[in-house]
Structure 1
Amino acid sequence: MLETIIKFVGKPYYRSPYCAIFNLDCLEAMSKIPTPFANLTVTSPPYNIGKEYESVMPLYDYLNWCESWISQIYRLTVNNGAFWLNLGYIAIADRAKAIPLPYLLWNRIPFFLIQEVIWNYGAGVAGKKFFSPRNEKFLWYIKNGSDYTFNLDDVRDPDVKYPNQKKNGKIKVNSLGKNPSDVWQIPKVTSGADRSSRERTPHPAQFPKALIERIIKASSNAGEIVFDPFLGSGTTAIAALEHKRIAIGFEINSDYCQIAADRIEDFIHTPRQKELLQWEIE
């Protein structure tokens, strides 16, 4: 499938046996691919709030743009595939200080919504006239409401309060742990002197690998394709490779492509990862 996508999209910026990164606008690139390929898409587009990697659009244009690329993802998702979308908050003059962007897109997304997951993190802006923001949302969508992947045993939480609790003489709790809640407490990738995360890169909006790992393990299987049309620093690709998935990413900024490529190269050339990456795809 990697070779098929390369045939239609063109030469990758970076290529390894189970990964391809393209330095392309995702809408332009996706429009060239004729058939569904993505088992799981995990992504976080620009929020339209003036970050260094985006040009702010009028809100209506931004929502139309989101609808366009999400429609392409829907077209390119296999029948039992999933789409995990992270979007933040935006201000609307005279109406809202911080409205969640997914609320403005709810009727523009063709996927079936399974659940909203709250990512709760420890660091962030301190509010003076409002509560300090400490969460973002992930929306878990699927293409087919009756046929989708959910690998609960792969993501169970071993931190069980009463592990020996019994019912009718049998241990009540699954030996692998409990079903995680829809609030995930995972630290942010922080920056700054004496507080910078070990996985920190120059990218200004980097996800922690632990966050994306949980999504990938729950919503895809080994050997399947994980896609990120806004790849950024490459965290989705690294998490996919570590768990024996194929990674495909589009990223319009060549500097970020290089960050992702360097991270992936460092990752796959550690002795342990060399061993883990020796897997066959049928």
Structure 2
Amino acid sequence: MSRLPSGCIDLSFTSPPYNIGKEYESVLPLADYLDWCEKWISELHRLSGPEGAFVLNVGYVSVAGRARSIPIPYLLWDRIPFFLQQEIVWNYGAGVAAKKVLSPRNEKLLWYVKDEGKYCFNLDDIRDPNVAYPNQKKNGKLRCNTLGKNPSDVWQIAKVTSGRGRASKERTPHPAQFPTDLCQRVLRGFSNVDALVLDPFLGSGSSADAAVRNSRFAIGFEIRGDYCDVAAERLHAAELQVSSLLI
């Protein structure tokens, strides 16, 4: 990121390692992990344009003697230079079953903007067409937007599942893959066509795949060569599909 010019990015969207021992990360002491997060997030702030946004998906971590599961953004709230516009709850059906606590079925998306008074928000592009009474009128006028309703700050989007007989069609070898539907809603809602989108933890390439399919440009970084190969294959397939639609 240090090699990119300041103010060049319209939207940063990423999910960094959660520091919980996944195959692609080395666990750090919590204080060191938070310092590391502050460092790369500050660099994203430098890269963001004047109307730029940053959408962060990050999970939970245990704090000995204090919390079994605390959202990581709560530990970073005063270290992030962006303005926190809204917290989005990503709710999904599949997940870990639990016996002594409620089964976890959500993660957080933190929507940050660089300027609280001027930012991109394309509500019409992400409206939910599932309206209970789409033709309801008041004083002869439709009460509902014909494009649908505001999807609210709770997004019910299926997780990418694995396992015989239940794996998602878009499943790749990456163990923590973004669903394409989630990426597309973020990109359509918080960036414009031809925007430049950055994902500094690209993983399997879901964010870049969604960018190609939605007329955005993408930059991504990934240190694992095998994940880079997966992302390259997905981007090639996306480019072929988009090209076929343009013919």
| Superposed pair shares fold, TM > 0.5 | yes
- The alpha carbon displacement at 1:33 in A equals 2.1
SS of corresponding position for 1:184: strand
TM-score normalised per structure 2: 0.98
Q: Provide the residue aligned with 1:221 in structure 2.
A: 192
| Whole-angstrom CA distance in 2 between matches of 1:166 and 1:275 | 42
Q: Percent identity?
A: 62
Contact 1:242 1:276 in 2 (8 A): no
Consecutive aligned runs of 4 or more in structure 1 exceeding 6 Å deviation: none
Q: 1:166 aligns with which of 137, 147, 150?
A: 137
Q: How does 1:247-258 map to 2 (within 5 A)?
A: 247-258=218-229
- The alpha carbon displacement at 1:224 in A equals 1.0
Return the letter of the residue paired with 1:56: V
- The alpha carbon displacement at 1:277 in A equals 6.6
1:86 maps to 2:91? no
Q: Provide the residue aligned with 2:106 in structure 1.
A: 135
| Whole-angstrom CA distance in 1 between matches of 2:244 and 2:240 | 9
Return the letter of the residue paired with 1:77: S
Q: How does 1:138-157 map to 2 (within 5 A)?
A: 138-157=109-128
Cα root mean square deviation, aligned: 1.1
Q: Which runs of 5+ in 2 are unaligned?
A: none
1:232 maps to 2:207? no
Contact 1:268 1:277 in 2 (8 A): no
Q: 1:180 aligns with which of 145, 151, 154?
A: 151
| Whole-angstrom CA distance in 2 between matches of 1:76 and 1:276 | 33
Cα 1:208/1:277, change in 2 over 3 Å:
farther
- The alpha carbon displacement at 1:37 in A equals 1.0
Contact 1:241 1:277 in 2 (8 A): no
Contact 1:244 1:277 in 2 (8 A): no
Contact 1:189 1:200 in 2 (8 A): yes
1:259 maps to 2:238? no
Cα 1:50/1:277, change in 2 over 3 Å:
farther
1:274 maps to 2:243? yes
Return the letter of the residue paired with 2:58: L
TM-score normalised per structure 1: 0.86
Return the letter of the residue paired with 2:5: P
Q: 2:20 aligns with which of 29, 33, 49?
A: 49
